[in-house]
Amino acid sequence: MALDLFSPVKLGSILLNNRMVMAPLTRNRSSETGVPQAMNVTYYEQRATAGLIITEATPISAMAHGYPALPGIYSGEQVVGWRKVTDAVHAKGSKIVLQLWHVGRISHPSLLPNGALPVAPSAIKPAGKAFTYEGLVDYVTPRALDASELPELIKDYAHATQCALDAGFDGVEIHAANGYLLDQFLRDGSNKRTDNYGGSFENRTRLLLEVTEAVVAVAGADKVGLRLSPANPFNDMHDSHPQSLFNYVVTALNPFNLAYLHIVEGGIHGGGEAAPFDFSELRALYQHSYMANLGFNKQTGNAAIAAGEADCIAFGVPFIANPDLVERYKTDAALNEADSTTFYGGNEKGYIDYPTL
């Protein structure tokens, strides 16, 4: 029988009822202390027919924040808040992993402890504006991390991973995409370092591999996914040789035997033209489970799975507007339209009030 979106699949040790994954979606509706609230529990519970839910990107420390009203995963209160989410999702028979996030330079002193400067591989100010509690303001020039600070940063990833497991998650996803800290180290447009973490592909990939090693040491490789966005220009990102760089990165990730590799196949959030990129080359190089993301629908998702181009498909906006997306795809029902004005921040409207069939 041909595989499709509704076939079960195992990603590492995580057994999914179907191959429809809810992509990580920043919604800016947590409490100011980063503790998930009652409406966050409802939101994830409503969407728990997805084979797998990947949470919104979740800061691993107070210094990892870059937007208002984000949940965190580094304090006891946050663990307790997230436990309500995982319990609700598991009660509905779905699986859920937490996405580990450090935004790096995509932040602002008003969002960080004691008005600290954001950190980055190099002191390069990104184009664009920071989204703060006071509205949109210009980004500042970040502070370049000293190599001596990186072991502590890696420990933050390990600590957040343990917090996620304590909160009942089935695993974690390392966010190394979309112009945030680990992606900033990977690409030469944002990394001008001259030490062991800059210059060659090997050096620019070093932090990502060290973080992956630390996270795997806590959770086990069979519970760890990783997200990359090789062509995405979002957050003022570019690289002089993206194909060669990311071919190198995925080859270096192969030995970990991770639960899955999650690839954003193109550019998202606007931010310019996506770099030309051959994703089939990446897929051929990667030896384990592959999750494709960006612009898929039922037809193209089924086609990609049937052709072996992906093991599962992550859907973003369709899951925002259709909590019961799996059922709608199964029955070819009409889809709700997403209200983009309520994507980031606000209350229950545009968050937990979309109708189900």
Q: Are 140 and 117 in contact (CB under 8 A)?
A: yes
Distance CA 101, CA 105 (A): 12
Q: Are 98 and 164 in contact (CB under 8 A)?
A: yes
Whole-angstrom CA distances from 259 to 227, 269, 288, 299, 352 are: 12, 27, 8, 25, 30
Identify whether 180 is a catalytic site residue. yes
Distance CA 288, CA 285 (A): 9
Kindly state the tokens that stand for 336.
């709700």
Phi and psi at residue 10, in whole multiples of 5°? -110, 120
Distance CA 136, CA 274 (A): 24
Q: Are 207 and 155 in contact (CB under 8 A)?
A: no
Q: Which of 180, 260, 286, 290 is catalytic?
A: 180
Give me the residue label for tokens 């995963």: 73
| DSSP bridge pairs for 58 | 100
Distance CA 176, CA 249 (A): 11
Q: What is the DSSP letter of 180?
A: S
Distance CA 7, CA 316 (A): 20
Positions annotated as catalytic residues are 180
